[in-house]
Chain A
Amino acid sequence: MKHRPQDPAWGERDRLVLCKGHAAPALYATLAHAGYFDCEALVSLRKTGSMLQGHPTRQTPGVDISTGSLGQGLSIANGMALAGRLDGKTYRVYALMGDGECDEGQVWEAAMTANHLGLSNITAIIDRNGVQSDDATENVKKKEPLDRKWHSFGWQVLEIDGHNFMQIHHSFDVAEWTTDRPTIIIARTVKGKGLSFLEGDANSHNATFSEEDLEWAMEELRYS
């Protein structure tokens, strides 16, 4: 992303809409390490008075829009992209969604809008981990063939291994070079990737860590 941590309001900055707002902890850790605020602040997550709320808010430097309610983010991203186009700006808008989130009708309204208005300055990403709150995604509301759905809505669809950084970078480049359609990157991921005791376990969606779990996890990640 094109951005300036020391100048979060920079007019030409790329925007990120964290549609799947519950991934806020990952966003905050990323923003801290990118230099938007001190890493020390991370321990205040979700605590009373914290600038790191349970779901992203504009209180946190680097967050452009408050999210948390699934299905709304892509429309917002469209609006930002439209504003950029009206103002002749070159920024790109990234919208990071969940696969469960694709249950929401508004996602498809927004998909139609992006196609209709030719919003090629949008790059959407779906965290395709195959799980949602209560069950595997295909047991709740079948999403497959997800790629063909988005393709039929007029989007360029790229499927990648969501844990492979080369593929991630390359797909972002392809999206940028595509000037006639919006692009969606379906990133196949595994929940709890890198941690042997969590990987692939549906229950890890809402899990909490014990001190022991935390120590073990840090060891495994250190050596991965």
Chain B
Amino acid sequence: MPSLREELGKVLAELGREYKDVTVITGDLGKSTGASAFEAFPERYFNLGISEQDMMGTAAGLASAGKIPIVNTYAVFLSGRAWEQIRNTVGRDRLNVKMVATHAGISPCADGSSHQCFEDIAIMRCIPGLTLVLPADVSEMKHAMRAAVETAGPFYIRLPRGEIPRIFHDEDGFQIGRARRMSDGGDVAIVAAGFLIPEAVKAEALLRKDGIRATLLDMHTIKPADTQTIVEVARQTGGIVTAEDHNILGGLGSTVAEIVCRDSPVPVEMIGIRDRFGESGELRELMEIYGLTARHIYNAAERVMKLKERS
């Protein structure tokens, strides 16, 4: 199974070779995240130490002078510690700063609640002009990072840590802002992104085995959201389950609910972190405890279909 650390390093090195204006800024965690592979270009790699606010401000300065800084560290520190810098400097001037956050969600597992970031989607998506992407695998990550470098404006790309299974092939088209239909079915919809896509895929298969046809949507771009597809899917299925390793307050589920409640109100069941902090543990065990598995998505689908019947 591909190691995110290795693959991120490869993507960065590739982008660094192709784009001379790309610079990488890390917060002393480059070896952990894989960004240190960019040391192949020593004059463009800056480990600014454990200083996220300074990292973000420096990136802003670089971007204002024509560079394309990729800022990388753990999600909780990148989005949290530097939030006001992202909002007031990067955001207000729509600067070309590409934020690549690793170790998002439940993936830091053993590190515990201080490191498990369940809030970054919520606090990033309310910044005007920012593009927010949740790649599901290495292939989507490569596409997303390339798109980030090639598209003007601030980007936030949310990645987990560890090993992630291959879901897509590089040739399977990927477009920022276009949700990907992975299966079609009129009984219920599953809308997921990022780390929980493999679980969503398993859930779709389980439902199909039991005669339930689900539309599975990979909503990799939270912002700008593919409003059209989401409304279509809501109309076609009449009930949606969303799945994310993020707080159910303010994340992917909230985004979907906001969209459908005006143009196609349907019941929405949200799989995600139920507004609590995390804890240390083994990854699969934590996913069970926090309700983030295929079985939980399956059960949510059943509940949504019952709600569908009632309304």
Contacts and interface: CB of A to CB of B under 8 A. Distances in A.
Interface string A117-143: 100000000000000000000000000
Nearest to B44: A86
Interface stretch (A74-82, A186-194, A197-205): A74-82
B54 A84 contact: no
Contacts of B63: 79
Interface string A40-64: 0000000000000000011000001
Given A69-B88, A72-B85, A77-B61, A86 B67 contact: yes
A80 B93 CA distance: 15
Interface in A79-95: 79-84, 86-87
B64 interface: yes
A167 interface: no
Nearest to B63: A79
B58 A75 contact: yes
Interface residues of B, number: 28
A76 B93 CA distance: 12
A155 to B, nearest CB: 15
Given A65-B93, A82-B46, A110-B57, A76 B88 contact: no
A89 to B, nearest CB: 9
B64 A112 contact: no
B67 A66 contact: no
Contacts of B46: 82, 117
Contact of A86 (B43, B48, B88, B92): B43
B26 to A, nearest CB: 13
Contact of A69 (B23, B48, B64, B89): B89
Nearest to B23: A86
Contacts of A82: 46, 58, 61-62
Given A79-B57, A79-B63, A82-B58, A113 B48 contact: yes
Interface in B45-87: 46, 48-49, 51, 53-54, 56-67, 69, 84-85
Contact of A72 (B23, B49, B57, B69): B57
A66 B95 CA distance: 11
B54 A80 contact: no
Given A75-B57, A110-B57, A112-B49, A83 B88 contact: no
Contacts of B53: 71-72, 75, 105-106, 109
Contact of B54 (A17, A58, A69, A106): A106
A53 to B, nearest CB: 10
B51 A109 contact: yes
A76 B64 contact: yes
A79 B65 contact: yes
A83 B85 contact: no
A10 to B, nearest CB: 12
Interface string B191-228: 00000000000000000000000000000000000000
A68 interface: yes
Given A58-B93, A69-B84, A86-B67, A79 B48 contact: no
Interface string B23-42: 10000000000000000000
Contact of A83 (B51, B57, B66, B93): B66
A86 B59 CA distance: 14
Nearest to B64: A65
Given A86-B67, A106-B53, A106-B57, A79 B88 contact: no
A71 B53 CA distance: 10
Interface of A: 15, 17, 57-58, 64-69, 71-84, 86-87, 105-106, 109-110, 112-113, 117
The 4 A-B pairs of least Cβ separation, nearest first, read A79-B61, A75-B57, A83-B65, A109-B54
